Structure 1
Amino acid sequence: MPGFEVFGAEEKKEIAEVLDTGVLFRYEFPSERRGIYKVRRFEEEFARYCGVGHAQAVTSGTAALKVALAAMGVGPGDEVITQGFTFVATWEAIFDVGAVPVFAEVDDTLNLDPADLEEKITPRTRAIIPVHMMGAPARMEEIMAIADRHGIPVLEDTAQAPGAAINGRKCGSFGLCGTFSFDPVKTITTGEGGMIVTDDEALWRRMSEYQDHGHDHVPNPGGRGGEGRSFIGFNYRMMELQGAIGLAQLAKLDGIIESQRRNKAALRQVVSQLPGVSFRTVLDPDGDNASFLAFFLPDAAAALKVNETLAANGAGAVYFANNTWHYYPKWEHLLAGSTLAKSGWPFKEADGRRRVQYDPQALPKSAAIMDRLLVYPVPIKLSDERLEQIAEAVKAAC
Structure 2
Amino acid sequence: MPGFEWLGKEETKAVNEVMQRGVLFRYEFADQRQGVYMVRRFEEEFAAYTGASHALAVTSGSAALKVALAAMGVGYGDEVITQGFTFVATWEAILDCGAKPVFCEVDESLCLDPEDLKKKITDKTRCIVPVHMMGAQARINEIMDIAKQAGIPVLEDTAQAAGCTLKGKHVGTFGAMGTFSFDSVKTLTCGEGGMVISNDPELYQNASEYHDHGHDHKPVGRGNEGRRFMGMNFRMMELQGALGVTQLAKLDKMVATQRANKAALKEALARVPGVSFRYLPDEAGDSATFLAWFHETPEAATRFAGLLAEEGVPAIPWGKNTWHAYPHWEHLHAGASLAKSGWPFDRPEGRAEYDADALPQTDAILSRCLSWQIMLGWDEARLKHMTEVINRVAAAM
TM bucket, shorter chain: over 0.9
Shift of 1:225: 4.7
Conserved 8 A contact 1:309-1:396: no
The C-alpha deviation readout for 1:175-217, integer Å capped at 9, x for no partner, is 0000000000001000000000000011111111110011121
In the other structure, the counterpart of 2:364 is: 368
> Residues 14-25 of structure 1 correspond to what in structure 2 (within 5 A)?
14-25=14-25
Letter of the 2:274 partner, please give it.
G
Conserved 8 A contact 1:218-1:225: no
Structure-2 separation of matches of 1:273 and 1:318: 20
Letter of the 2:20 partner, please give it.
D
Letter of the 1:80 partner, please give it.
V
In the other structure, the counterpart of 1:395 is: 391
Match of 2:267 among 266, 269, 275: 269
Letter of the 1:395 partner, please give it.
N
In the other structure, the counterpart of 1:228 is: 226
Structure-2 separation of matches of 1:309 and 1:249: 36
Conserved 8 A contact 2:261-2:383: no
Structure-2 separation of matches of 1:96 and 1:18: 33
In the other structure, the counterpart of 1:40 is: 40
Letter of the 1:2 partner, please give it.
P
The C-alpha deviation readout for 1:318-348, integer Å capped at 9, x for no partner, is 0011000000000000001111011111110
The C-alpha deviation readout for 1:278-321, integer Å capped at 9, x for no partner, is 01111111110001000011110000011111101101100011
Structure-2 separation of matches of 1:390 and 1:21: 46
Identity of aligned residues (%): 59
Letter of the 1:57 partner, please give it.
A
- TM normalised by structure 1 equals 0.97
Letter of the 1:207 partner, please give it.
A
Is 1:216–2:216 an aligned residue pair?
Answer: yes
- TM normalised by structure 2 equals 0.98
Count of paired positions: 394
Conserved 8 A contact 1:307-1:317: yes
SS of structure 1 residue aligned to 2:315: coil
Structure-1 separation of matches of 2:121 and 2:42: 36
Conserved 8 A contact 1:26-1:37: yes
Is 1:287–2:285 an aligned residue pair?
Answer: yes
In the other structure, the counterpart of 1:128 is: 128
The C-alpha deviation readout for 1:259-294, integer Å capped at 9, x for no partner, is 000000011112223211101111111110001000
Structure 2 residue runs of 5 or longer lacking an equivalent are: none
Structure-2 separation of matches of 1:116 and 1:98: 24
The C-alpha deviation readout for 1:337-373, integer Å capped at 9, x for no partner, is 11101111111026xx642111111111112211110
SS of structure 2 residue aligned to 1:118: helix
Structure-1 separation of matches of 2:59 and 2:268: 39
Conserved 8 A contact 2:58-2:193: yes
Query: Over aligned residues, Cα RMSD in angstroms?
Result: 1.0
In the other structure, the counterpart of 2:379 is: 383
Shift of 1:219: 2.3
Conserved 8 A contact 1:107-1:369: yes
Structure 1 residue runs of 5 or longer lacking an equivalent are: none
Structure-2 separation of matches of 1:99 and 1:271: 42
Conserved 8 A contact 1:86-1:326: yes
SS of structure 1 residue aligned to 2:299: helix
Structure-1 separation of matches of 2:280 and 2:219: 43
